[in-house]
Amino acid sequence: MSNFDFDLFVIGAGSGGVRASRIAASHGARVAVAEEHRVGGTCVIRGCVPKKLLVYGAHFAEDLKDARQFGWDVPDCKFDWDRLRDNVLAEVTRLEGLYGQTLENHKVTVFKTRATVVGPQTVRLADGQEIRAERILIATGGWPHVPEFPGSEHAITSNEVFHLDTLPKRVVIAGGGYIANEFAGIFNEFGSKVTIVNRGDTILRGYDEQIRDRLLQISMTKGIEFRFNAPFQSIERNADGSLTVHLDNCDPIQADAVLVAAGRVPNTKGLGLEEAGVELDDHGAIKVDERNQSSVPSIFAVGDVTNRIQLTPVAIREGQAFADTFFGNKPTLVDYANVPSAVFSHPPIGAVGMTEAEARNKLGSIRVYTSDFRAMKNVLAGRNERALYKMIVNAATDQVVGLHMIGPDAPEILQAAAVAVKAGLTKADFDNTVALHPSMAEELVLLK
């Protein structure tokens, strides 16, 4: 009989932790998981899921306008933030219940409390109870980073943005990454005045330059304002409750809400990791090897807390690979090549593989194909908004090494096309595929 209380103790019931718990349990392990907030983690509770529902809600603003060109008599419509917010939060609660149910069905013991590491095979719950487990998995995710400046306490982050009492009339968003561009689109469609303030002059660093420029151009046409090279100096609360944002190199901006979206840091503070001998990197991320094992052989980590690729599907794969390797006798490594990604901006972006700049640096000789077009629906709607698809091809092998798209439904199209890139298909393979007409996706097989 094992002298451990559990075979596996997971700290954090988010995407990676839940997957690892459930799979390890299905392999016959005795599993417990501790969660101090809500089961589901960032993606389900305060990230991808409620964000996507707000993106859907926001898009109706354009759909309702466009419907008139398609023959519908649409009266002037009013948007009710409270109703959408409450419906989204109710859906989040429903999903939280499903996640809890899944753990219960797999006989995973759930401790709804904070747990910290007190030794290589021991965790302590908030009430002082100590539990011994043969292996410990840290899946505590990340937390929004708020740079230090006077008045930063007046800002909100993506943790709070889903709970706003009222829709702010004027929103300033600090940062130029995923969250900044997604929420700029959301608030702008709801009718708020949005200003993105960026410390540098680049939005969505890491994405292809032409695609980023297209988003910037469309966002500005839609009325979103940008301030570049403008680090925050301070935020001041005014007598009427509004905020004044002071910036380097720019005039102050008046706002009703300031959203800071300046990246997310690994959630390792106060977990007892360093005391237990677990090595962290300079950003506080747990250093792990390709099998997700830390410097302490019985302690493992998956997901954002390792700061590899901060995406839910990656955390899920890491959790699955960990459980299969150590409890299913099925050694599995996660393949990080050609991970597709999307930005749910208005319009959205989808991308996989190398950008043009990366491919030029790595491969030297490349061919670049683009299609710059107005979606049929936008033409009839009178919406002067052009989509851009871009394919990067290795000139030596004809292999497609990158696909980058901005336009309606780009993430939906890109997910399918990413299979071809992942499989190493060539430009000739795309050309040999008959177009599906009329669609936007057909542009991918018609690139000249």
Q: What residues act catalytically?
A: 437
Tell the smallest beta-carbon distance from residue 353 to ligand NDP (Å).
16
Rule CB under 6 A: say whether 264 interacts with ligand NDP: yes
Tell the smallest beta-carbon distance from residue 160 to ligand NDP (Å).
14
Tell the smallest beta-carbon distance from residue 349 to ligand NDP (Å).
9
Residues between 325 and 354 that touch ligand NDP (CB under 6 A):
341-344
Q: From the list 120, 263, 272, 313, which residue makes contact with ligand NDP (rule: CB under 6 A)?
A: 263
Q: From the list 109, 116, 202, 210, which residue makes contact with ligand NDP (rule: CB under 6 A)?
A: 202
Q: Which is nearer to ligand NDP, 188 or 371 (CB)?
A: 188
Q: Which is nearer to ligand NDP, 135 or 264 (CB)?
A: 264
Give, in degrees to the nearest 5, the angle at Cα 145 between 144 and 147. Answer: 145
Q: From the list 103, 138, 179, 391, which residue makes contact with ligand NDP (rule: CB under 6 A)?
A: 179
Rule CB under 6 A: say whether 178 interacts with ligand NDP: yes
Quick one: tokens of 316?
């899920």
Q: From the list 78, 94, 205, 448, which residue makes contact with ligand NDP (rule: CB under 6 A)?
A: 205
Tell the smallest beta-carbon distance from residue 178 to ligand NDP (Å).
4
Q: How many CB atoms lie within 10 A of CB 343?
A: 25
Q: How many CB atoms lie within 10 A of CB 272?
A: 16
* Pair 118, 130: CB distance under 8 Å: yes
Q: Which is nearer to ligand NDP, 29 or 139 (CB)?
A: 139
Residues between 137 and 176 that touch ligand NDP (CB under 6 A):
147, 174-176
Rule CB under 6 A: say whether 53 interacts with ligand NDP: no
Q: From the list 97, 200, 223, 364, which residue makes contact with ligand NDP (rule: CB under 6 A)?
A: 200
* Pair 271, 284: CB distance under 8 Å: no
Tell the smallest beta-carbon distance from residue 275 to ligand NDP (Å).
28
Tell the smallest beta-carbon distance from residue 262 to ligand NDP (Å).
4
> Could you tell me which stretch among 26-34, 247-255, 259-267, 331-339 binds ligand NDP (CB under 6 A)?
259-267
Q: From the list 55, 138, 155, 180, which residue makes contact with ligand NDP (rule: CB under 6 A)?
A: 180
Tell the smallest beta-carbon distance from residue 415 to ligand NDP (Å).
12
HEC sequence for the chain: CCCCCEEEEEECCCHHHHHHHHHHHHCCCCEEEECCCCCCHHHHHHCHHHHHHHHHHHHHHHHHHHHHHCCCCCCCCCCCHHHHHHHHHHHHHHHHHHHHHHHHHCCCEEECCCEEEEECCEEEECCCCEEEEEEEEECCCEEECCCCCCCHHHCECCCCHHHCCCCCCEEEEECCCHHHHHHHHHHHHHCCEEEEECCCCCCCCCCCHHHHHHHHHHHHHCCCEEECCCCEEEEEECCCCCEEEEECCCCCEEECEEEECCCEEECCCCCCCCCCCCCECCCCCECCCCCCECCCCCEEECHHHHCCCCCHHHHHHHHHHHHHHHHCCCCCCCCCCCCCEEECCCCCEEEEECCHHHHHHHHCCEEEEEEEEECHHHHHHCCCCEEEEEEEEECCCCEEEEEEEECCCHHHHHHHHHHHHHCCCEHHHHHHCCCCCCCCHHHHHCCC
Q: Which is nearer to ligand NDP, 147 or 252 (CB)?
A: 147
x/- contact string, 101-140, with ligand NDP (CB under 6 A)? Answer: ----------------------------------------
Q: Which is nearer to ligand NDP, 161 or 280 (CB)?
A: 161
Q: From the list 34, 261, 301, 375, which residue makes contact with ligand NDP (rule: CB under 6 A)?
A: 261
Rule CB under 6 A: say whether 421 interacts with ligand NDP: no
Tell the smallest beta-carbon distance from residue 254 to ligand NDP (Å).
20
CA distance 42 to 15: 8
Tell the smallest beta-carbon distance from residue 360 to ligand NDP (Å).
21
Rule CB under 6 A: say whether 262 interacts with ligand NDP: yes
Quick one: tokens of 94?
């429903």
Rule CB under 6 A: say whether 58 interacts with ligand NDP: no
Query: To 10 degrees, what angle do helices 312-327 and 15-26 make?
Result: 30
Rule CB under 6 A: say whether 310 interacts with ligand NDP: yes
Residue number with the smallest Cβ distance to ligand NDP: 177
* Pair 122, 275: CB distance under 8 Å: no
Q: Which is nearer to ligand NDP, 188 or 341 (CB)?
A: 341
Rule CB under 6 A: say whether 6 interacts with ligand NDP: no
Which residues form the interface with ligand NDP (CB under 6 A)? 147, 174-180, 182, 198-200, 202, 205, 261-264, 310-311, 341-344
